Structure 1
């Protein structure tokens, strides 16, 4: 019995997810330059011909992954700009980061991928370099605004909101690096530890 259009689309999406997962893993652990298309196909468990049906070049795949990561950053900006309690928003965000970090590799790999794309500059990420810088700046600003609002409401500790936002994201980025380096020896700090400098009496 021939497959339906929906079944073909499901198979196509499943294959792309395998490719994305394999590529992120290899880019993070081996670096973009040291990863070839055959490595990605082998890790994904597919033929190189099938990979080329989805992506013509390694750069195209890398750029799509960075696009995905940038979408995530934009979602975070929108989330922080809602009218909910700053304490509630920050607690929910940190809980999600904690859950993602202990249950899988995707968030870790996406954070490192963004970092790699910035460090690569014009070499592999010319399409994204300025965009990522702008989105990162917006995310810092929206987080700092959230912290200021939380300070005014007495939910957050006092301090320079911009500096606190930088520290917050630096700790998350550093934890992603530590998870890759330490592997099974990595212990993810609890949400309470992650926000100890920020939230008053987190519950």
Structure 2
């Protein structure tokens, strides 16, 4: 259920109540920092108690912003979950840029990316579980699938991918999400996930 916006919420004891500039579309440095604080606070809470711990008021207090300010940046808890996921993908993309996959095949490079993502998420299993489960039930548009698909296409050398190639890379990303959930439920080991991802990548990206 989406959490309604709360423009009339009192902003007492707020460290900062400045709203983001929507009209210009460009955030100032302080607004970037404020947004980052909010996302980091939400991730820290989720890593300890799942999405249930990401209560909007608690996030605002931890980030040092007014509750009304938090709602202006993130109208609902799910918008906040999406932002945390985007932050995780940003970290993955930075890792890929610093150390690109070196496998000889597109399938091998895709496996490298997905297993790197698995290791990163499993450092905070409660956060990973909360994020993945929430995205499956998301009531807002999420960039998760598209960004993972785009990343797989990029490391596969398909900057100008065909519709079929996009579908194949998207299917591989979906397989990975399913396997990750199974691991979080205790039904898969890391080694089993890697084996399954290698098989799926080998089949789906065979013609890349």
How high is the TM-score relative to the length of structure 1?
Answer: 0.48
Query: Higher helix fraction: Structure 1 or Structure 2?
Result: 1
**TM-score where L is the length of structure 2:** 0.47
